[in-house]
């Protein structure tokens, strides 16, 4: 809603689309939300949405405020080195949190999801669709989603203690040290037989 009578500029159009996208994605989830519906809410043509965001996935990422391309991260993660996946997952996670651009963006995202219901719904939808979906095939087939989420919980918990609450010594621990501790536990979630079995 422009406050003057002038035609809204690109910045305002972009943010109107983002607002509409946040509302729709949070309310209906990723799959049930259409570019066309968002475009209609924002009173623009679907082509305008594509012009700004490239694709529905790109729009989703921008709406959530996610600071890197999950498809690229997946490529790096699955193509690299002979280390066990648990180790590579931990390494990649800590590197994104350490990075001066992506780190603060991830912290802001987590903060707002923990204090705002719509932001939580958006982030929930995003991680399920854009992150967990990409690694699930690498986890054992029984209770796969729970395994992925337990591994994610370990990593997110470290980000909370290390980057948000800044507890010592975990806050100053070198990444290699954290990876060495955490990697084997992530591997256990990924591959062990059922805990009671």
Chain residues binding its own copies by CB under 8 A are 110-111, 113-115, 120, 123-124, 127-128, 145-146, 149-150, 152-158, 160-162, 164-170, 173, 177-178, 180-185, 188-189, 195-196
Cβ 13 to its own copies shortest distance, Å: 31
Closest CA to 94 of 20, 8, 186, 19: 186
What is the C-alpha to C-alpha distance for residues 177 and 179, in angstroms, rounded to an integer? Answer: 5
Between residues 14 and 86, which has the closer beta carbon with respect to its own copies?
86
Tokens of 112: 């707002």
DSSP for 22-89, written as a single string: HHHHHHH-STT--HHHHHHHTTS-HHHHHHHHSSHHHHHHHHHT--S-HHHHHHHHHHS-SS-HHHHH
Residue among 41 and 187 whose Cβ is closer to its own copies: 187
- Give least dist CB 91 to its own copies, A: 14
CB of 124 to its own copies, least distance (A): 5
Please state the closest distance from residue 160 (CB atom) to its own copies, in A.
Answer: 6
**Cβ closest to its own copies, residue 37 vs residue 84:** 84
């Amino acid at each position: 809603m422009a406050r003057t009578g002038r035609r809204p500029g690109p910045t305002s159009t972009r943010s109107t689309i983002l607002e509409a996208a946040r509302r729709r994605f949070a309310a209906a989830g990723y799959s049930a939300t259409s570019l066309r519906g968002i475009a209609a809410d924002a009173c623009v043509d679907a082509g305008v949405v594509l012009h700004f965001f490239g694709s529905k996935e790109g729009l989703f990422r921008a709406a959530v405020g996610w600071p890197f391309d999950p498809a690229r991260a997946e490529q790096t993660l699955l193509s690299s080195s002979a280390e066990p996946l648990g180790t590579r997952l931990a390494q990649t996670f800590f590197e994104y949190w350490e990075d001066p651009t992506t780190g603060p963006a991830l912290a802001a995202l987590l903060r707002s999801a923990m204090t705002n219901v719509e932001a939580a719904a958006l982030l929930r939808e995003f991680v399920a669709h854009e992150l967990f979906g990409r690694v699930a095939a690498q986890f054992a087939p029984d209770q796969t989603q729970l395994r992925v989420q337990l591994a994610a919980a370990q990593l997110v918990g470290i980000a909370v203690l290390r980057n948000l609450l800044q507890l010592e010594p975990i806050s100053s621990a070198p990444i290699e040290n954290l990876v060495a501790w955490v990697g084997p536990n992530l591997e256990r979630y990924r591959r062990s037989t059922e805990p009671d079995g």
